[in-house]
Structure 1
Amino acid sequence: MTGQAKIVVWLLAVLCGLAAVGLGVVAAIADLDTAGQVASVAGSIAGLAGVALSCYTLVRPSAAGSHETAATAAGARSVAAGGSIGRAVTGDRVTLTTPPVPPAVAGISGSAQAMGERGVAAAGGVGEAFTGDDTRA
């Protein structure tokens, strides 16, 4: 959580606490009918604020979307993926006889960087990686 988010959370917590104390004071000084009416109006305002915040959250760009998936492969025959890789083959004359194995972790995205010759990197899972020559799978 960023510093600004922490400040907003604390301010909202203090505001809710003050509202609760205020309603208690109204209930003690005035009668319960007045306190009930004040609580009803305060609840309506809080509900509308919640709806507005929810709508804003739905239409704004997500935090995950602001960090673009970055996959960089820097090396001969290197493979990099911002998500998962089922099978990566970088070797010469590789004979594949089996279907690819699904990656262990699916649905993850982020940054991955493969360095060096035949490097394999993924932000998610890697099912299989064949980097040698003349292999059989």
Structure 2
Amino acid sequence: MDVPMEISEDELRNAAKLRIARLFNVAPENISLDDIFGKDIHTSFVSNWKPNELDIIYDDICDIVDKKTWKELGSGRIKIRTVGDYCDLMVSSYKSNKKNVTEILFDYEKEENNRLKNNVTVILIAASVIGLIVALLFVLN
């Protein structure tokens, strides 16, 4: 991954906005920093088996914040409701966690690998469930 060691706030904010666009499959020019998750930007699905876009954003947050920020998120002092809130969190977290922020915002190959891994997990779980149903039907007959 070839990313400069120091990235400006504008570059980070733009990369975070582009990540949201990719996750939600929306053209970047159609996303505003004021867009509210769940109101202006919607998930494509809800599932117990596979993470949706908001689950991925939550994972991003878990991967980048420090203890102090975690406490502020937990207390409600910091809220991630809008695209701008997400972008601001990426910018502020870059100071203390450059590696993870950089990987999340600029490592598209890793993102695609995680998506493929999640798809394989769903397929394996579905196959296991089908196998259990077939075995149960066999036993009951």
Q: Does the TM-score normalized on the shorter chain lie above 0.5?
A: no
Bigger Rg, structure 1 or 2: 1
Pick the structure with more helix per residue.
Answer: 2
TM-score of the two chains, using structure 1 as the length reference:
0.26
Greater RCO structure (CA 8 Å; 6+ sep): 2
